Amino acid sequence: MYVASVTVSILLALVLLASGVMKVRRAPAVVANLRMVGVAERVIPGLGALEIAAALGLLLGLFWWPIGLAAGVGAVIYFVGAIVTHLRARDNAIGPAAGMLLICATAPLLMVLAL
């Protein structure tokens, strides 16, 4: 279970880091997608910072599991918010956010099972 936990945590951290950097840098495609669902442009870098913080927390969690667990739970809450935002905007393209939610839920579960 430990190997699975480490693997999922590292892969998830890489995805969150890439996504967070694109938001912080205000990549045009990312900004356009977020504006389409009603996210104010001024909060986009903050959303990116949350993703980067979650990525760092997952990586630090490899050395001290409570931080990784907190980061995983925080990422789950973040992606629940993303799904709600898409649905409120009547945008049914929630597949990527739902997939990330499942992966984010898997990371803390594996951490607990690996204890």
In sign, the C-alpha dihedral spanning 63, 64, 65, 71 is negative
**Which pLDDT value is given to residue 114?**
82
Average pLDDT by consecutive 10-residue portion of the chain (115 residues)?
89 96 97 95 98 97 94 95 94 87 88 82
**Which pLDDT value is given to residue 94?**
86
**Which pLDDT value is given to residue 110?**
87
Cβ of 71: how many Cβ atoms within 10 Å?
27
Q: Which domain holds residue 68?
A: 2-114
Domain count, the chain: 1
Instruction: Tell me if the pTM is above 0.85.
Output: yes
